[in-house]
Amino acid sequence: MSRFSHFLAVDWSGAKGARQKGIALAVALAEGGPPVLVAPPHPAGWSREEVLALLCDLPGATLVGLDLGIALPFADAGAFFPGWDASPGDARALWALIDLLCADDPHLEAGGFVGHPQAARYFRHGKGEEGDRFLLPGAATREGRFRVAEAAQRAQGVRPVSNFNLVGAAQVGKSSLTGMRMLHRLGQRVPVWPVDPLPESGHVVTEIYTAMAARGGGVTGAATKLRSREALNDALDALGSPPVPGSGAIDDHASDALLTAAWLRRVHADSDLWHPPSLTPAIARTEGWTFGAL
């Protein structure tokens, strides 16, 4: 019998505004069946606050996968923000600082943080617009800093983007920062692995990367977005999941959530994924980890 009854995948968005077309939620049941989308409360889409409310009232024992970075790089420099005396010492303190500096931002947005005179120095804000501390001294590339989990992801054939990068279609910096605000508001209601220890029962929140779920579904090549139900169902079949109904085009946010919910159901019992070799207690407390990275 599965440790969890529900597997919820959340494709997140860091865009401005009250409601986001880029947020999609899907759930797969341990008892089987195809994954299904969770309808937003409003036709215009989910708000981040509504996702937070849902996470505070989960059914059964739910494994939640959030497609965002739950922390920033720390291990490479011994600090999130080397040279800034307000740099927090662990992930939960980081979430609290971000939420504090964004107190005037509506909808869990993160403009107050990336615009803060000190914090802004660590981010890439636009083409040719980088803070003077975006790169560490002697950096080998211009891509920015990465967490240990992201190095593990790269070794598995996907290409994460630095959470300090706020530029481009592939950037996840804004979604990660808004997600960290949500995690701070979530508080201790649901453990966030591995920042918190894995409990023996009940709900758990994890970080996911939907490209890794696509790889698990047999999707190869640089492009991992699935934009047809036929392609999605091929990937679901590779994960041992029944197909979703219908044919033709599908929004890639929806397909990401559906595929990842089925992937979580398929792989969650693999003990190795909960014990990656590079995940030390210090990294767990500061940088966190991406479920599925080894």
Residues 6+ apart with CB under 8 A from 178: 12, 13, 14, 48, 68, 108, 109, 110
Lowest mean pLDDT among 22-26, 177-181, 209-213, 218-222: 218-222
pLDDT at 168: 84
Alpha-carbon distance of 252 to 46, in angstroms, equals: 16
Say what the pTM is. 0.97
Residues 6+ apart with CB under 8 A from 231: 255
Alpha-carbon distance of 113 to 193, in angstroms, equals: 24
Reported as a single tens digit per residue, the pLDDT across 53-105 is 999 999 999 999 999 999 999 999 999 999 999 999 999 999 999 999 999 99
pLDDT at 1: 65
Burial level of 107, CB count in 10 A (0-12/13-18/19+)? middle
**Mean pLDDT to the nearest integer, 268-291:** 97
Alpha-carbon distance of 109 to 104, in angstroms, equals: 9
Return the closest-CA partner of residue 121 out of 107, 136, 139, 106.
Answer: 136
Residues 6+ apart with CB under 8 A from 266: 216, 239, 240, 241
For the chain, list the domains and their CATH numbers.
6-70+192-274 (3.30.420), 91-183 (no CATH)
Residues 6+ apart with CB under 8 A from 200: none
Q: How many residues does the chain have?
A: 294
Residue 222 in this model has a pLDDT that exceeds 80: no
